Amino acid sequence: MKRRHFALLALTLFAPLTAASVSHACDGAAPAGKYQAAAPSYQPNYQPNYRPRYEAQHAPRWQAPQPARQAPPTIDAGVGYQLGGGGFGFESGRVTIDVSGLELDCNVVNWSNDSIAFEVPSMKLRRETHATLDIVRADGSIYKSIPVQLRGIAIEPEPIAIQPTTFETTSVDTGALATDSFFAETAPPAPLAE
C-alpha cells in the first residue's frame, strides 16, 4: 500500500497525469472515476518550430574575436602631417579641424589624389581635447571625418613675482611755506549772508 501511494505522489509531482499512467501506477487498483485523463489542448495558431534538432545541438559555442576599440589618434597643434590614401581629388581642397564646435582651417601644403600634406594650426589648450579632422574636396563634399585627440601647446601660468615695496618719506618744511609771499597776503573775510 505504501508503495502504491509513493508511486501516485511521484506521478503527480513529476509527470503529467493521464489515464494510462494512473492505471499503470496503481496496477488497476484505483477506483474508477477518481482520476481523469488530461484532455489534449488544441491551439489553432500553433506554429511548429521547423528548425532541425541537430542545428540547436551543434551550434558553435565560440564567437569570432571582436575588433578592439582603438583610441583615436593623437595629433599636436602646430605640427605638419601627411595623409596617404586615394580618391582625394586632383584639385586642392581644404582640411579643417573642429574643436568643440569651432572649425579651424589647416594650412594645406600639398594636395594630390594620393596624399595630402597639411599643418594643424597652433593653439593653446589646457588638456587633450576631442576633435574631428575633416577632409573636404574641392567641390565642398566631405571626403572623410576622422575623430582625433588634439594636444595643444600647454598653457602654463606666468609666475607672479612679488616685489618688496619700500616707502620713501620726504619731509616738508612748513615754516618756509608759511613765510612765502603768496601765503602772506590774506584776503579780507567775505561778508556773511543774512
For residue 62, being part of any structural domain is answered with no
For residue 54, being part of any structural domain is answered with no
For residue 118, being part of any structural domain is answered with yes
Kindly indicate the confidence band of residue 60, based on its pLDDT and cuts at 50, 70 and 90.
low
For residue 90, being part of any structural domain is answered with yes
What's residue 136's pLDDT? 93
For the segment 24-33, what is each residue's pLDDT rounded down to a tens digit?
Answer: 444 445 455 5
What's residue 68's pLDDT? 73
For residue 167, being part of any structural domain is answered with no
Question: Which one, of 133, 42, 126, lies nearest residue 79 by Cα?
Answer: 133
Asked if residue 16 and residue 80 are part of one domain, the reply reads no
For the segment 69-80, what is each residue's pLDDT rounded down to a tens digit?
Answer: 788 889 988 889
Question: Which one, of 72, 190, 78, 44, lies nearest residue 133 by Cα?
Answer: 72
For residue 94, being part of any structural domain is answered with yes
Q: Determine the structural domain holding residue 4 and report its residue range.
A: 1-30
Backbone phi, psi, residue 26, to 5°: -95, 0
DSSP-derived secondary structure letter, 163: P
Q: Are 84 and 115 in contact (CB under 8 A)?
A: yes
Strands, sheet with 74-76, edge to edge from the N-terminal-most edge strand: 74-76, 142-151, 129-136, 94-99, 102-105
How many Å apart are CA 116 and CA 189, to the nearest integer? 91
For the segment 97-121, what is each residue's pLDDT rounded down to a tens digit?
Answer: 999 888 999 999 999 999 999 999 9
For residue 55, being part of any structural domain is answered with no
How many Å apart are CA 29 and CA 158, to the nearest integer? 103
Q: Are 120 and 83 in contact (CB under 8 A)?
A: no
Task: Say which residue the cell 586632383 belongs to.
Answer: 90
For residue 68, being part of any structural domain is answered with no
Asked if residue 94 and residue 22 are part of one domain, the reply reads no
What's residue 65's pLDDT? 72
**Would you put residue 178 in left (φ > 0), alpha (ψ -120 to 50) or beta?**
alpha
Q: Are 8 and 25 in contact (CB under 8 A)?
A: yes
